[in-house]
Amino acid sequence: MTSGIAWFVRGKLYAWECHPWPSIPADIREIVARELVVAVKVGDRLDALALAEMEPEVFLRTTTAWNEPKIAFRMAGIDGEHLGELVTEAWRVQAPKYLRKEFDER
């Protein structure tokens, strides 16, 4: 297996391509093995749970046992605008304050 594509801001991971690692639940692993699945950091675990409950056909309930707040989603099921929002928010979660300030001022 390859490590895949990942996006970082100042050395902090905020979005990445998921892979069917043996440590993830079998049903989720099957989805990840067949489709392009991407995960992003979220500000809070409740945000991730809300997304998974609102659109369970797009957002996966879990991909790893890591405790940090994150959500994985099927790329084929997400529209471009929502994808942009998710990636931007993930970037904001990980970016240092000065970069967020620069971004907001633009």
> Residue 96's domain is classified under what CATH number?
3.90.1150
CA–CA separation, 81 and 75 (whole Å): 12
Domain residues for the domain of 93 are: 6-105
The verdict on residue 69 lying in a domain is: yes
The verdict on residue 28 lying in a domain is: yes
pTM of the model: 0.89
The verdict on residue 45 lying in a domain is: yes
The verdict on residue 1 lying in a domain is: no
Tally of domains within the chain: 1
The predicted-structure confidence for 14-60, as pLDDT tens digits, reads as follows 999 999 988 888 999 999 999 999 999 999 989 999 999 999 999 99
CA–CA separation, 104 and 15 (whole Å): 20
